[in-house]
Amino acid sequence: MRDLAPIITEAHDRVRGYYGSAIGRSKYEVVTPALVIDRDLLHANLEYMESRLPELHARLRGHVKNHKSPHVARMQLEHGAFGLCAATAWEAIVMVRAGADEVLIANQLVNPVKRRAAVLLAREANVTVNVDDVDDAAALSAAAVAAGTTLGVLVEVDTGMHRAGVDSPEEALKVGRAVQALPGLRMDGLSGYEGHCSLEMDHDKRHEKQAAAMQYFVDVADHLEANGVPCPILSAAGTATAFWTGANPRITELQLGSYVAMDDYHFLMEPRFKKATTAVVTVISRRRDRVVLDLGKKTFGSAEVGSIAAHPRIFGHEDLKPYRFDEEHATYEADETCTLKVGDVVDFHLGYTPFAVNYFDAYHVVEDGTVVDIWPIMPRGPLHGGLLQLLEAGH
C-alpha cells in the first residue's frame, strides 16, 4: 500500500495539535463531549470479518462513510478489503490519499464539479461510479475523455431500497448498453445494495427481504448477460445482511462499512461486531428527578434511524428513560437511586454513530481506557473542503 499522503498526515498533525494533550491520559479526563474509538474493538471487528472471508464467495470492499477516518480505512485494507467504497467524491479522494488503489463511489455524481473530481482521481486509482441515467453516463463519459482517464461504471439497480437505481431489468439493460458504447467508461457490472433490509428489525423478515432482493438482482444480471452486456461485478450487502449475501455465489463484492466501527443500531441486528465508537460526556445538572448531559442532537445527531429507535443512552445506566433530547442537552429521568452527580464523566452509547461522526473533527483513540492517539475525520461534513482544487493542482 502507498504511504499516507500529506493531506492525511497534515490533518493528523493538526488534530493531534488541537487535542493531543489528552494522549496518555484517561478518556475520562478529556474535554467533553468527545468521540471515542476503541482500538482493540476495531481490531476485533476487522479480524472477525477477515476470518469469515475465506468461506464467503465475494471480495470485501469496505465502506468508509460510517467512520470517515483515513486511518480506519487503511486498517480495512490491511484486513482483507481489496478496495474501499465511498458515499461522495470527496470521501473517495481522501481514501485514495489514504492508500486505496480501488474506490467505488456508490452514488450518482450528477454534477460537473464532482464528475471532474472523479475523473481526475482516476489518474491515481481505479475509480468506479454508480449510474442509473443515460444522460448522466454521457456527461461522465465526456468528463473522462476530457481528462484522459477511464471510469469504471456500475449500473445501480433498485433491489428494494426505492432510492436511486433503475427500476427494471429492461432499464438496466438500456443504461448498461449506453455505458458500453460511451468512450472513457468501462461497464463493470451492477450495484444493488439491499439497504432496505437494514430497516427491517425482524430477523426472519430481514432474511426473506434479503433473499428476494438478491434473487431479483441476479435476475437483472442474467438479463444483461443474455443480451450482450457482461456484468463481471455484482456489488451488494450491508453489515446487517453481509453473511447471507456473502454466501450467494453470484455476488462478487460486499460493500459493507458499519462492521468496523459499529453503532448501536446495527448492533441490535448483528451482535458479532462490537461497538467500537462511543462518546464521553459530562453530567452538567442533577435535579431530583432527572440528570442532564452536555451533549444533544448537535453532537449525536438523532435518536432515530428513520422511524426506528436507536437508543442513545448512558453506559452503566442504560435503564434510565430518556426525557428529551435538545440541541446541546440530553435529559434522562433519574430518581434518588441513580448515583450520577454533577461533574461525572461517563461513556455514552451514541445510537447511530454516522450522524455523530459528521459533526466531529476527530476521534480520541483509546486502548484500555487511555487515549493513545487522535485521528482526523475526513472529509468533515458535506462540503468538499478544497479537495477538488487539490486534485486540479496535481497534489
Partner 1 sequence: MHDPAPLITEAHDRVRALYRPAIGRSREELTTPALLLDLGTLRANLDLMAAGMRDVPTTLRAHVKVHKSPHIARMEVEHGAIGVGCATVWEAIVMARAGISDVFVINEVVGEEKARALALLAREADVKTAVDDALQVDELSSAAVAAGSSIGVLIDVDEGMHRCGVASSQEALPLARRIADSPGLRFMGLTGYEGHCSLEFDETKRHAMAREAMGLLTGIAADLAAAGLPCQIVSAAGTGTWGVTSRYPGVTEIQPGSYATMDGHHRGLDPRFGWAVTVLASVISRRPDRIVLDAGSKTVGASHGVIKGWDLETYRFDEEHSIFLANDKTPLTTGDKVEILCNYTPFAIGYFEAYHVLEDGKVVDIWPVMPRGPESRWLLDMLERGE
Partner 2 sequence: MSSAAIDPQPDAERALSTPALVVDLDEFESNVAAMTVLLRGTGKTVRPHVKTHRTPELARRQLGESAVGITCATVGEAEAMVEAGIEDVLIANEVVEPRKIARLAALARRSRIAVAVDDQEPVAAISQEAARIGVTIGVLIDVDVLLHRCGVASAADAVALARVIERLPSLRLRGIMGYEGRLRLGDHDRAGRIARAYAAMEEVVAALRTAGFAVDVVSGAGTSTLREALADPTITEIQAGVYALMEPELLNLDLPFRCAVTIRGTVISRHPGRIVLDIGRRVVGMEYGPPLPVGFAATDIAISDEHARITMADPLPALGTQLDMLPGQIRTTFNLHDEVWVSRGGQLIDRWPISARGSSQ
What is the binding site for partner 2 (CB under 8 A)?
Answer: 51, 200-205, 268-272, 308-309
Name the segment binding partner 1 (CB under 8 A); options: 73-81, 159-167, 202-210, 313-321.
159-167
We find the least distance from the C-beta atom of residue 203 to partner 2, in angstroms, to be 5
Q: Is 348 in the site for partner 1 (CB under 8 A)?
A: no
Q: How far out from the chain centre does Cα 11 lie?
A: 20
We find the least distance from the C-beta atom of residue 189 to partner 1, in angstroms, to be 19
Q: Is 133 in the site for partner 1 (CB under 8 A)?
A: yes
The closest alpha carbon to 325, from 336, 341, 311, belongs to 311
What does 382 bind: partner 2, partner 1, none (CB cut-off 5 to 8 Å by kind)? partner 1
| Rounded distance between C-alpha atoms, residue 167 and residue 162, angstroms | 9
- What is the torsional sign of CA 200, 205, 210, 216? negative
Q: Out of 2, 25, 123, 163, which residue is the one contacting partner 1 (CB under 8 A)?
A: 163
- Residue 112 or 230: the one with the smaller Cβ distance to partner 1 is 112
What does 358 bind: partner 2, partner 1, none (CB cut-off 5 to 8 Å by kind)? partner 1
What does 284 bind: partner 2, partner 1, none (CB cut-off 5 to 8 Å by kind)? partner 1
CB 7 within 8 A of CB 94: yes
- Residue 17 or 228: the one with the smaller Cβ distance to partner 1 is 17
- Residue 44 or 345: the one with the smaller Cβ distance to partner 2 is 44
- Residue 181 or 201: the one with the smaller Cβ distance to partner 2 is 201
Restricted to residues 228-257, the positions that interact with partner 1 (CB under 8 A) are: none
What does 204 bind: partner 2, partner 1, none (CB cut-off 5 to 8 Å by kind)? partner 2
Q: Out of 102, 354, 376, 391, which residue is the one contacting partner 1 (CB under 8 A)?
A: 354
We find the least distance from the C-beta atom of residue 52 to partner 1, in angstroms, to be 25
Mark residues 268-287: x for contact with partner 1 by CB under 8 A, - for none. --------------xxxxxx
Q: Is 362 in the site for partner 1 (CB under 8 A)?
A: yes
| Rounded distance between C-alpha atoms, residue 266 and residue 277, angstroms | 12
- Residue 150 or 358: the one with the smaller Cβ distance to partner 1 is 358
Q: Is 24 in the site for partner 1 (CB under 8 A)?
A: no
CA distances from 132 to 84, 129, 135 (A): 21, 10, 9
Q: Out of 62, 70, 99, 165, which residue is the one contacting partner 1 (CB under 8 A)?
A: 165
CB atoms within 10 A of CB 135: 10
| Rounded distance between C-alpha atoms, residue 172 and residue 105, angstroms | 18
Q: Out of 9, 26, 302, 370, which residue is the one contacting partner 1 (CB under 8 A)?
A: 302
We find the least distance from the C-beta atom of residue 276 to partner 1, in angstroms, to be 18
Restricted to residues 62-121, the positions that interact with partner 1 (CB under 8 A) are: 65, 87-88, 107-111, 113-114
- Residue 23 or 44: the one with the smaller Cβ distance to partner 1 is 23
- Residue 192 or 301: the one with the smaller Cβ distance to partner 1 is 301
